Amino acid sequence: MKKRKVGLALSLVLAAGTFLTACGSNNESSSGDSTGGKSDFTVGMVTDTGGVDDKSFNQSAWEGIQKFGKDTGLEKGKKGYDYVQSESDADYTTNLNQMVRQKFQLIYGVGYLLAEPLSDVADQQKDTNFAIIDSVVKKDNVASITFKENEGSFLVGVAAGLSTESNKIGFVGGMDSELIKKFEAGFKAGVHSVNPDAVVQAKYAGDFGKPELGKSIAESMYKSGVDVIYQAAGGTGNGVFTEAINLKKQDKNRKVWVIGVDRDQYEEGNVPGTDSNVTLTSMVKRVDLAVEDVAKKSNEGNFPGGEILQYGLKEDGIGISEHTENLSEDTVKSVDEWKQKLLSGDVTAPSTDEELKEFMKK
C-alpha cells in the first residue's frame, strides 16, 4: 500500500516560541556560539536500565544530544557530549556523580526512576545544572521535562479500536507507575471512544530492560486472541515486537499488530525475508527535540532551572507516527478528527484510573 503522510506527522523543526518559552537561568552563559560555531559547553546523559539503544526514550534522548553536539561543533567525550549507561538501579547515583566529577555542565537523567537520585545529587552539586525526563524535581538547578503521554496514547487507542478484528486488545507496561498509567488510561479511553465493545487487557512487566519478559507476556496475550498490543515498556517492549514477528513468520496471513512507543518504531516491525510489517502505528514522544532544546537554551545562558516543561499535542511534543501503511484510510481520518477534538479541548484524554472511570461514564 502506498505510504500516506498525513497531518498527524510531528513537525521536525519546532519554533522556539511554541516549543519552550524562554526561562531564566541560574548560571552564567558558557562561551557557546549560538550561530553554530564551536562551543565549549558540555552535556552528559545517564540512562536508565533500558540502555542507550533501547529503541525508545533513552535512544531518543541520546539522538537529541548528538544533534545538539553536531550543531555546536562538539565531539563525543568528556570535553563535549557523552553518556553513561546504567546496568541497575544502584548505578544511578554513581553515574550522576561520575558526570559531575567529569565537569559536565548539563547532565540529563533519563526516566522517572532517576528522579530521587538526581534530586539528591543536585542538592550536593548546586553549581551543576541537571534535567530530569519524565518526572519533576523541584530544585533551582534542575529542569523538569514532562510530556502529555495520555494524549498520544489516546490517538493510538483510536487506531487500535478501529483496527482490531477480535475486539481483544493488549497493553504491556514496564513499571506499574504514575507515568505509565498515563499511557494506559489514555489508550483505553481512545479505544473505548471508537469501539466500546473492545476489551483492553493490561499487564505490567515490572521492568524496562527485559525483552524476554515482554516476549512472554505478548505470547500469552496473542494466544488469548489479542490481535493488537500497545507496549509502553522501553527495552522490555522489544520482546513484544519479537513475538509478533515470530508469529507472522509462522503464518503470514495472521493479523498480529504492535503499537510502538516514544520513537517511531515502524522499522522494528519489519518481518525478515518478507514485505510484511507488524507495527500498526507508534505513539511518538519527541524526547530528542526537548533534550536538544533545553541544551541549546542552557548553552545560551537560559537554563530553565526550577521550571516544569510540559509538551503535548499543542506543542508538537506528542503525536502519532507518520507511517500509515497499516492503517485504513478511514482510520487515519478518524485519528485526525480525534486529534482535533483534543486540540480544541472538546475532549480531554484521561491520565489516571480515576479520570478513566469518569471518562467511561460519558
Residue ranges of the domains in the chain? 16-147+287-311, 149-285+328-361
Please write the tens of the pLDDT for every residue from 222-274.
999 999 999 999 899 999 999 999 999 999 999 999 999 998 999 999 999 99
> Fold match between 16-147+287-311 and 149-285+328-361?
yes
How much is the pLDDT for 26?
A: 42
- What ranges make up the beta strands (E) of the chain? 43-46, 81-84, 106-110, 129-133, 142-147, 168-173, 199-204, 228-232, 257-262, 279-285, 308-311, 318-320
**What is the reported pTM?**
0.81
Residue 186 has pLDDT above 90, yes or no: yes
How much is the pLDDT for 50?
A: 85
Please write the tens of the pLDDT for every residue from 92-144.
999 999 999 999 999 999 999 999 999 999 999 999 999 999 999 999 999 99
CATH code for residues 16-147+287-311: 3.40.50.2300
DSSP string, 188-248: HHHHHHH-TT-EEEEEE-S-SS-HHHHHHHHHHHHHTT--EEEEE-GGGGHHHHHHHHHHH
How much is the pLDDT for 18?
A: 41
Please write the tens of the pLDDT for every residue from 200-232.
999 999 999 899 999 999 999 999 999 999 999
Architecture of domain 149-285+328-361 in this structure:
3-Layer(aba) Sandwich (3.40)
The values of phi and psi at residue 109, to 5°, are: -105, 120
How much is the pLDDT for 54?
A: 84
Please write the tens of the pLDDT for every residue from 25-81.
344 334 444 444 567 899 999 999 888 988 888 999 999 999 999 999 999 999 999
How much is the pLDDT for 30?
A: 41
The residue that leads in pLDDT, 157 or 25, is: 157
Asked whether the CA dihedral 30, 35, 39, 42 is positive or negative, the reply is positive
The residue that leads in pLDDT, 195 or 32, is: 195
- How many percent of the chain have pLDDT more than 70? 90
